[in-house]
Structure 1
Amino acid sequence: MSGIRLTERWITLKDDEVSSSLVKDLLCPVQDDLWVAAACADRVLDDIDAQRALIDLGLERTSSAVSRIEVAIHKPRSGCENLTSYFKENLTDARLCRIRSILLKRRDRLRTFGEIMENMGTHRFSETGPGIAADIEEEAWDDPWGDDNPEAGPSSTVEKPAIPPIPLSVFLTEDISLLCLSLASQAQFAALEVLTIRHSSEVFPIRFELISRFPLFIDPSKYRDFLPALDIQSGKELQSQGTPWRAEPDLVESDDVERALSRTDGLPEESDIADFNIQQVFCKKSELFSAEELVSWYKARVEDIVSSTGMVDMALSLVQHGVSQGILGLDELGEDLTLLARLTYDASGRDDEPSEPISRAEWTNLEPREVVRLYLAQSTPETVVNDIRRLVLPYLFVLESRCERAGKPDPGLVRRLLYDWILSTELGMIVPIFEASKPTHLASQRLISDDEDLARLALACLYGSNSVDDWTNMSRIFECLPAWSFGPDEDQEDEADTTITSLNSFLAPTTSRPQVSPANLLVFFKPLPAESLSRALDILDVHLESGEILARWGVGVPLRWFLQSAHNEVQQRAWAMKMARQIDAPIGDLDSEDIWLSLLEDMLKLARPEETDTYSAFGALSGDTIRQIFFRGLLSTGRFAIAKHLIQPRHGGRLLDPHTVDDICLDCSREFYDNASSGNYNHGDMKLAYDCLSVAPQTYRIQKEREFIEATSRISSFNVTSRSGVPMLPIEIRLTKDKLSLISRVLSSNETAYRHVEVLLELVRKLGYQSDGLAEVKTLAMVADTALQAEDFLRAFEVSDRMIKAVLRLRQNAPLGADSEPVREAVEVCWVACYQLGRQSEARDVDRKMSLLGRALELCPADKIVDILASWRKLEAEQIEQRREQTSLRHSRNGDTIKRTGRVRDRTSNLSSRLQNIHMPSPALPSASALASHTFSRVAAAFPFGMHGRSDEERSRSRERSPDVQSQARHALRKGVGWLLGADEDEL
C-alpha cells in the first residue's frame, strides 16, 4: 500500500478503532517523520497499549531532530542564538522538537496512569453493573426471591479490570492541578499518591487546596500521607521529595531550546494542555508554612469537619495525626475533641440532641454545668454512676487541670459541678449515686467521699423534692447516709432546730420565688457541723416515716411540707382533717372497721402524743384532737354504723366523751344539711344529715336538730320557693332568722295548706318553737287570715276560736300575766285577727262575728275600743233587723211576737248596762279600717300571706256598698255615750 493510501486510511480511522497493530501497520511505513510525529501527537486515545504505541513511534520519529539540534548547539556561537537561527532555517526540526516535548510529557502521564491502574488492581463486580456495592451482593446471595436453585452461589460475580478514575484521554491532556482536585473529590488516594510522587513539583503548590477537596467524613488516617508535617529543625513545614519519571529532562525540555522555540515564528501554539490560569482559580502555596500557620490550618480543618459533619472522631483523628507530626499547640484542641467525642458517641441518643452537630466553637461556649447535663441527659439509673465516672469526671478533671495551668487553681470545681447536677436531678437518678457513696465503701470507690457533704446533699435533695409518692427512693437515699454516734449536745441540737425553724419561713412561697430549689436549701445546711447534721438526720427519719404514712392513705405531701408545718397547729389540723375525710384505703373495704382503726392508729402515730418535742406530721396536735378529727372524718364519709360502734366504751376506755360526740355529730349533720340540694330527708345529703344524728345518744340537742331536719323536709314537700321557680334550699331555711316566716311561705305557696292546722302547728314546734304560746298564736292568726282570704269562713271561725283559747291559756300560765311581752304581743295579734274576721261583711254567721268582735273589745287597748265598737254596733243593728224580721214572721204564724220582742228589749237593755261600765276614751280616733290595718301590720303582717278568695274588683264593690266606717264609728260613739247618759235610743 502506498504512503498516500496509508495516510488517507489513518485520517479516516476513528479513535476507538486505533490499536497498537494498526499504528504499526499504518504509520511505520510512512517516511515523512514530521507527518508521522504530528499524527502520533494528534490522537489521544483511551486504550493504553495503542496510546503507548503512538507515543513511542512519535518519539522515535523525533529523535533524529534531537541529534541535529545537538550538533547545532555545539557550534561556536552561543547556544540560544545558534538554536534560534537554526530553528528559523530548519522549521521542520523546530516543529519536531515541539511535538517531542508534548509526547515526552504525555509519556510521563501515561506511565503515571499505568502505575495508578496497577495500584488500584482488580476487584469484583456484579453483572448488574460496576456501581453495586459488595454488601448488596451479599444480600443478593440470601435473597429468597432469587434463583430457585438453593445450591446456586454468587456465580454472577466476575473478575473485571479496575475502572480508571479518570479516562486516559482526559488524564493525558488535562492540567495536573485539575486532575488532582478531581481525584481528591473522589477520595482516590492511591492515584493521588502516585501523582504526588511522580509530579511533585506541580502538585505541591496546591497541596492545601487538594486536602480541602477530600470528603470531610473520611477518616484522616486514610490520607495521612497528604497532611502537612512540621520540620522540628527549621520550624517550618516539612516538604517531601518526589520521584519523577526522568531524573534529567530531555534536550527539547531545556531552557535554551524552549527559549529558542518561543522565538521561532511559524510554530503553532502548544495547545495540548488546557490553557487557563490555575493561580486565579485556586490558591497556590509554593512557600512553606510556619508552625503557627500549620496550627491554624489544623484548627480550621477540624472546625470544618465538626461543623459540617458532626463526626468528632474524624476531627480527633486529624488532630492526633498532627500531634504525631510534631505540630505544637494542638493539645487543648485534642482535649476538647476527646471530650466532645465522648459527648457525641458515648452519650449519644439523647432526646434533646440538637438537629445540627455541635461545633467546637459551640462546645467552647457551653457552660460547664451545661456540659455535665448533656453528658448525663440520656443516662438511666442503671448507667448514671458509670456515666459519671467515664464521662463527667474526666471532663471535670480536665477543667481543673486547665485552671491550674492558667495559674488559677480551683480545687472545689469537681465537687461543685457534680453537686450542682445532683441537686437539679430527680430522685430516681440520684439514688444510685448515693448508693455508690455509702460510707461503708472505700473512699477511692465513692463518688461522694465526704460524709458531711453526703448528708447535706441528701437533706437538700429530699426537702427540695416535689415528689409526694416516691418514698421508696427517699428511704433508699436515707439508708446511704452516715450514722454518727455523738453524745447529747444541747448546743448542736439547738443549732439544728434553729435551722429547721428558719427553713419554715424560708420555704413559704412568694410571688418572686414560688418554690425553693434544692440548691437554695443547701445554703442552709452547709454551715452545720456533723453533730447538727446528725440531729437533722434524726428529724429527717421522722419525716420520712410520716410521709410514708400520709402517702399510704392517699394524702401524700412533699417532704418540705413537714418543715413548713412544723409546730403549726392550723396547717397540721387541716391536713389531719383531709386525711380523715379523703381516705383512700390501701387494702380492704372502707366499710371495714379494721381499716378505720388502722387509720386512727396511724393518725395517733403521726401525732406522737407521748412525746413532748416532735417534728412529726401532727406533732402540734394532742391525742384527743386527733381522735375528734378522726371521728369527724368517719362521720363525713357516711360510715355511721362503724362510728356508732367505735364510740361504745371498750376495755381501754371511750374514744371520746359523750358531750364531744354530741357536738361532733351536730356539726357533721349541719355540714351535710348545709350542703344538701334537696330538703327531702330520705335522699342525698339530707339523709346523711338525718342519719348522722343517730350515732350520738338522743339528747335534747340531738332531738331538736332531728325535728328541725324533719321540719325542713316537710317545708320542702310544700314546694316552697325562694324566688320564681327556684325551690328553697335547706341552707336558706337554716339562715332564715324568723322561722315563722317559713309558715307564711308555706301558706302562700299552697292553696290548701291552711286546712292542715295540726300539721302546721307541728311544723312550728319542730322549727324550734316547742312550748312557745306566742308562736302558736301567730301561726293560728296566719291560718285564720289565709282561710279568710280564701273565704273559708267556717274554718276561719274555728281557727280563731282556737287562737282565743290559746291566748287565754297563755295569759293564765304566764308568770307575769298580761304584763309579759310575749303575752302582750299574743293578745295584740289575737284581737286584731278577731277584729278583721268579725267585721267581714261576706261572713254570714252574725253570732260568731259578734262573738269575735266582743273578744276584740275584751282584748284590745282602751284607745281602740271606739273603732271596734263601731263595727260591733253595725253588726248589732244587722242582728236586730234580722231578729225583727224573724219575729214578725213568727208573730204572723203563731202570735208570739210580743214575747220575742220583750226578750229582745231585755237583751238590749242588758247590753246597754254592760256598755255603761266601759270607759270611753277620747272620740278623736282613726277609722276602724285604719286601726286594723296599722295594728295587724305591726304585729303579724310581716308574713307574706297568700291572697285567696274574691278578686280585688269584687272587694271594691263590697266596700262601696258598705256605709262609711268613720261615720259608723261616730254614730256608735254617740250611741254609747247616750246610753251612759240615759238618753232614749230614738233620740240618738
Structure 2
Amino acid sequence: MATSTRVAELSPANATILAAHFAASGDLKSLRSVCLLHSSTLRGHTLLRVLLCLPETTQPTLYIPLIRTVLSNEDITVLEDERTAEDMESSLPITKISDKSAQKKIEKLPTLPVGNDEDRKGLVTSYLLQRSRNIDSETGALSIIRELLTPFRDDLPKIRDYLDGSVEVLSKLVYEYAQENEEDIGGTAVFETMEVDAATKKLLNRCGRGGNVVQDLKQLVVPYLNYRGSYGNGWGVIWKWLEQKVESGDWAGFVEVIARWDGPENQALREQYARLALTGCYICGETESWALDGMRVVEKRVRGFVDAGVGARNIYKAPTKLGGLLDKENPLTAPNTESLKILDLLITSAGILAIPLAAAAKVKFEGSHDDQKGVLTRYVRNGPNWAKRSNEEWKKLRNGLRWMRSESGVLEKLSVEEVEKVLLSGMLAATKFPLVKEIYVTGRDGGLGKEEVERSVLDAFQEFYDNASNGNKTRGGVKNALNILQILYPQYSNSTALERAFRLVNATHALSHYSLTITPGVLLRPVHVRIHADPLSLLARLLDSNPKSYTQADNLTNIAKDLCFGTTGYDGGRKTNARVLGMCIDAALSESDFDTAYSFSMNRLVSMATDDEDTEEVKDVIWRTCFQAGRYRSPYAALIGETSAHGGKALRTVEMRMELLGQALRVCPPPALAEVLAAWRRCEEEMQAGLKEEEEEEERHAALWKTGDARAGPGRRKEDEAPMGLFAVAREAAQALRGSTFPLAAGRGMDGTGSEHGSEGSAATEERIRKRDMVSGMVTHGLASGLGWVLGAQPAVPPR
C-alpha cells in the first residue's frame, strides 16, 4: 500500500526511479529537486542515464545545466525560481518500493557505452551522441540537436566533429541544398551509416549550389571527412572529383579550388593534394593565355606548400619522359623545387608554342629531332593570321624560339641554324623583306651564313613565283618574288643562281605583255615558264597568237636569252639568236610577209654560220629556215598578179627565193641536198617561164612600135637571158671540181673568146642578170663542196 514518504528518506534506488519518473514526464524542476536531495546518487553516469529519459522534444537549454555538472563534476545548485525540496515533498505522494524492484527498474533505464565516472568528457560525449540520435530518430528536428550540442562544441572535440561533420552538413543538405525530385538523404543515423565514398560523392555533387564551390567544399565535404576520416577513401573521391573537373574542361573551376582551399590538414594528404594540383596542369588541354595564367596560380600555390615543408620527403628524380600523369611516382608531378622549375619553363614554352602543357613536355622529353622540327614549323606558321604579324611580333617570336632551344630545352635537339632557317622562311613567306634584310643580311646576330640565307631566299622566290597567276613583276606573286631577290641581288650577292632567278623574272614579265596561252583557254602562268621542257618554244606560241610580233625580233631575242639563262644558267649564245630569228621568219611567212622573212634571212641569219663549236646547230637552223623561205609561195600571188609569168615583182621574188635556197645549199647536210636542189629546180623553171613571157612581151611591144633591127641593136640571145639550167650548172660544178674558177657567167656579156658584146639593155636588166649569176655561183659552190657525188663529178687528184 502506497504511503506518503519524504524524498530525502528514499533509498538511492528509489530516488533514481523517482528522478527517471520526473525526467520521463518532462518535470525538470522536480527532477532538479530530487537531484539536490540525492546529489551523491544522481550524478555522473547515473544522472546521464536519467536524462536520456527526457522527452526528445524537451528544450535542451532546460537540462544542459545538469549535463554540465557531470562535465565539471560539481554539485547541482538551487535556482532562484525553483521550489524547495520541502515544498515538493508536501505536494507529491511518493510510493516506496523494495530496493530489489527498484534496481530492476533501474536496469531498464537507457544505457551509455561509457560508464566510467572518472572519464567525465567521455561520459558527456557518449550521452550527447546518444541523445542526438534519439532526437533525430524520434523528431528529425536537427535544430534541437544543434541547440543541444553547440554549448559543448569547444570542450569536446568529438562533439565538435560530429556537430560540424554530420549535424551541420545534414542540416545544409536538408534546408539549403535540397531540390525537388531528389532522393532524401535520411537522418543522422542513415547519413552516418552510409559508405564514406558514397556520402562524399553526394556532398560533392551538391557543391556549388550555394553559389560558391570552395565555400561548399569547406563547409560540407571537409567537415564530413574530418569526422569520418578514418573510414573509407573519401579524400580519394575528392582527388578524382578534381581530376574530372580538368578532364571535363572546367579548368577555371579547378584553379579556383586550388587557389582558395588549403587542402587537408594531414601532411601526407596535403602532399597528395599538391601532387594533384601539378597533375591538373599537365592534364589541362587549354592553350589560351587565361589557362596559362591559371597554371601560374597553381604553380605559386604548390610552391607555397613546398616552402612549408610539403613534399620534403620526395627524392628528386630527373624526368626522362612525360610518363603517366596520374602515376604517383611521376617526377614531373612530385611537389618539389625541381619539378616546379620544370613546370615554370614548360608553361612559358607552351605559351610561346600555343600547345597544351603536356604536349610541350612530350616534345621536350620524348620528341625526336623531326618531332621538334615539326613543332617549330607549325608554330612559325600557326593560325590564319600568322602572316600578318608585325615586325615586333616576329622579333618576339624569334627570341622565344631561341630561348626554347637554349633554356627550356623544348627544342634542344635543333641547331641554331635550323631554328633560324624556319624563321627566315616564315618571314619571307609573310613578305617581311626589310626585316629579313635587317636581321639576316646586315645584322650581326642572324645565326645563318650567306649561303643559307641565299638558299632560303631562292626557295621563297620559287614559292611566290610558282603560285603567281600573272607574270607582271609590278604586282602579285612575281612582284614579291622580285622583291625577295632584291634582298641580296645585286648589292650583297650576284651569284649565278640569283642572276638566273632575276632574268627569269624579266623574261616572265616581258611575256606577260603578250597574249599567250599554254593550252587553248588556259593562260600562261609563271610556273609554266619555269618548268617548261623547252621554254623557247613558248615564243613560237607567242608569234602564233600575236600578229606582227615577228617584227620585234630583237625584243624576242632578249626574252629568249633571259628564258634560257633563267632556266638553264646559259643564254644559248648564237644558237638562241638563230632559233628566235628562225621563228620570226616562219611567223613572217605565215603572215605572208615574204620581204621581212627574206631580209631577216639574208641580212641577219645567214651571217651566223661560222666555224665555232655551235655552228652545226646554228647551220641546221639556217638551212632549214632558208629552205622553208625559199619554198614560199604566197597564197595571194595569183590574185594580185605576182606570178612568174607576169614578170616584175614575181621574178624578183623568185630570184630572192633562189638566193635563199642557195644559202640553204651552202650549209645543209648532204642528205638534204636533193630536196633543196629539187626546190631550186622548181624555182629555175619558174624563172625560165617568166623570162620567156617577158621576152615575148618585149617582142610584142617592138612590133607595135615598129622598131627596126638596126635601132634595136644586136638582139639578145635567149641563152643570154636565161639562167643556166640544172645540167649546165652541174657541168660548171664539175669544172669547179677540176680547178676551174667561176666560168658560169661566160657568154652573159662576153663571147666565147672573151670579147665583149654591145648591149643596150637597161641597167635594171643587167643588175638582174648579175644577181642571177651570183645565185648560180652560190649553187655551183654548193655543188662543188657537197654535190659532186650526185652528178658523178670527180675532183681532180693531183699526181703523186
TM-score bracket relative to the smaller structure: 0.5 to 0.7
Q: Is the 8 A contact 2:302 2:335 kept in 1?
A: no
What is the CA-CA distance between 1:757 and the residue it aligns to? 1.5
- Structure 1 residue 669 corresponds to structure 2 residue 669: no
Aligned to 2:253: 429
Q: Is the 8 A contact 2:734 2:788 kept in 1?
A: no
Looking at structure 2, the residues matched to 411 and 860 of structure 1 have their Cα atoms a distance apart, in angstroms, of: 103
What is the percent sequence identity of the aligned residues? 20
- Per-residue CA deviation, residues 829-865 of structure 1 (Å, 9 max, x unaligned), is 4323322221122274112211222232233332222
1:843-858 superposed matches below 5 A:
844=650, 845-858=653-666
Secondary structure of 2:471 counterpart:
coil
What is the CA-CA distance between 1:875 and the residue it aligns to? 0.6
Q: Is the 8 A contact 1:673 1:730 kept in 2?
A: yes
- Per-residue CA deviation, residues 762-801 of structure 1 (Å, 9 max, x unaligned), is 2212213414433333333222222222212122223334
- Structure 1 residue 471 corresponds to structure 2 residue 292: yes
Q: Give the one of 319, 326, 340 matched to 1:522.
A: 326
Aligned to 2:112: none
1:461 maps to amino acid: C
Looking at structure 1, the residues matched to 383 and 476 of structure 2 have their Cα atoms a distance apart, in angstroms, of: 20
- Structure 1 residue 800 corresponds to structure 2 residue 601: yes
Aligned to 2:279: 459
1:920-959 superposed matches below 5 A:
none
Aligned to 1:638: 431
Looking at structure 2, the residues matched to 422 and 905 of structure 1 have their Cα atoms a distance apart, in angstroms, of: 109
1:632 maps to amino acid: S
Looking at structure 1, the residues matched to 561 and 266 of structure 2 have their Cα atoms a distance apart, in angstroms, of: 83
- Per-residue CA deviation, residues 850-889 of structure 1 (Å, 9 max, x unaligned), is 1222232233332222222111111112223333444565
Looking at structure 1, the residues matched to 409 and 733 of structure 2 have their Cα atoms a distance apart, in angstroms, of: 88
- Structure 1 residue 568 corresponds to structure 2 residue 371: no
- Per-residue CA deviation, residues 366-409 of structure 1 (Å, 9 max, x unaligned), is 966863552235577xx3322211123345567767xx5xxxx4
Secondary structure of 1:480 counterpart:
helix
Aligned to 1:833: 625
- Per-residue CA deviation, residues 556-606 of structure 1 (Å, 9 max, x unaligned), is 2211221332343334334434554569999xx9665x5544443333222
Q: Is the 8 A contact 2:204 2:221 kept in 1?
A: no
- Structure 1 residue 626 corresponds to structure 2 residue 419: yes
TM-score, scaled relative to structure 2: 0.58
What is the CA-CA distance between 1:445 and the residue it aligns to? 8.9
Q: Give the one of 772, 781, 786 matched to 2:582.
A: 781
Looking at structure 1, the residues matched to 176 and 229 of structure 2 have their Cα atoms a distance apart, in angstroms, of: 22
2:666 maps to amino acid: E
What is the CA-CA distance between 1:459 and the residue it aligns to? 3.2
Looking at structure 1, the residues matched to 504 and 320 of structure 2 have their Cα atoms a distance apart, in angstroms, of: 53
- Per-residue CA deviation, residues 133-153 of structure 1 (Å, 9 max, x unaligned), is xxxxxxxxxxxxxxxxxxxxx
Q: Is the 8 A contact 1:669 1:689 kept in 2?
A: yes
Q: Is the 8 A contact 1:457 1:522 kept in 2?
A: no
1:374 maps to amino acid: N
Q: CA, structure 1 residues 584+912, in 2 after alignment: closer, same or farther (shift >3 Å)?
A: closer
- Structure 1 residue 879 corresponds to structure 2 residue 684: no
Q: Give the one of 600, 603, 612 matched to 2:401.
A: 603
Looking at structure 2, the residues matched to 595 and 558 of structure 1 have their Cα atoms a distance apart, in angstroms, of: 21
- Per-residue CA deviation, residues 921-955 of structure 1 (Å, 9 max, x unaligned), is xxxxxxxxxxxxxxxxxxxxxxxxxxxxxxxxxxx
Q: Is the 8 A contact 1:604 1:623 kept in 2?
A: yes
- Structure 1 residue 680 corresponds to structure 2 residue 485: no
Secondary structure of 1:497 counterpart:
coil
2:508 maps to amino acid: T
1:305-324 superposed matches below 5 A:
321=139
Q: Give the one of 193, 197, 213 matched to 1:384.
A: 213
Q: CA, structure 1 residues 539+917, in 2 after alignment: closer, same or farther (shift >3 Å)?
A: farther
Number of equivalences? 544
Looking at structure 2, the residues matched to 724 and 317 of structure 1 have their Cα atoms a distance apart, in angstroms, of: 99
Looking at structure 1, the residues matched to 723 and 245 of structure 2 have their Cα atoms a distance apart, in angstroms, of: 117
Looking at structure 2, the residues matched to 433 and 781 of structure 1 have their Cα atoms a distance apart, in angstroms, of: 85
- Per-residue CA deviation, residues 613-652 of structure 1 (Å, 9 max, x unaligned), is x533x322222333333332222222222332334545x4
CA RMSD of aligned residues (A): 4.7
Aligned to 1:902: 720
Aligned to 1:543: 346
1:291-330 superposed matches below 5 A:
321=139
TM-score, scaled relative to structure 1: 0.48
What is the CA-CA distance between 1:428 and the residue it aligns to? 2.0
Q: Is the 8 A contact 1:379 1:387 kept in 2?
A: yes
Q: CA, structure 1 residues 857+340, in 2 after alignment: closer, same or farther (shift >3 Å)?
A: farther
Q: CA, structure 1 residues 831+713, in 2 after alignment: closer, same or farther (shift >3 Å)?
A: same
2:612 maps to amino acid: N
1:861 maps to amino acid: P
1:220-231 superposed matches below 5 A:
none
1:392 maps to amino acid: V
Looking at structure 2, the residues matched to 692 and 496 of structure 1 have their Cα atoms a distance apart, in angstroms, of: 46
Aligned to 2:507: 711
Secondary structure of 2:509 counterpart:
helix
What is the CA-CA distance between 1:903 and the residue it aligns to? 6.7
Q: Which runs of 5+ in 2 are unaligned?
A: 1-56, 59-133, 146-161, 566-570, 638-649, 738-786, 795-800
Q: Give the one of 320, 325, 328 matched to 1:498.
A: 320
- Structure 1 residue 481 corresponds to structure 2 residue 280: no
Q: Is the 8 A contact 1:743 1:760 kept in 2?
A: yes
Aligned to 2:448: 656
Q: Give the one of 521, 529, 532 matched to 1:725.
A: 521
Aligned to 1:371: 202
Q: Give the one of 789, 813, 820 matched to 2:612.
A: 813
What is the CA-CA distance between 1:535 and the residue it aligns to? 4.1
Q: Is the 8 A contact 1:468 1:559 kept in 2?
A: no
1:12-411 superposed matches below 5 A:
321=139, 342=172, 346=176, 356-358=181-183, 371=202, 374-377=205-208, 383-394=212-223, 404=231, 409-410=232-233
Aligned to 1:963: none
Aligned to 2:117: none
What is the CA-CA distance between 1:468 and the residue it aligns to? 3.2
Q: Mean alpha-carbon deviation: is it higher for 667-676 or for 461-470?
A: 461-470
1:742 maps to amino acid: L
Q: Mean alpha-carbon deviation: is it higher for 763-772 or for 684-693?
A: 763-772
- Per-residue CA deviation, residues 157-178 of structure 1 (Å, 9 max, x unaligned), is xxxxxxxxxxxxxxxxxxxxxx
1:847 maps to amino acid: E
Q: Is the 8 A contact 1:573 1:621 kept in 2?
A: yes
- Per-residue CA deviation, residues 115-149 of structure 1 (Å, 9 max, x unaligned), is xxxxxxxxxxxxxxxxxxxxxxxxxxxxxxxxxxx
1:659 maps to amino acid: E
Q: Is the 8 A contact 1:427 1:474 kept in 2?
A: no
Looking at structure 2, the residues matched to 752 and 368 of structure 1 have their Cα atoms a distance apart, in angstroms, of: 96
Looking at structure 2, the residues matched to 344 and 910 of structure 1 have their Cα atoms a distance apart, in angstroms, of: 134
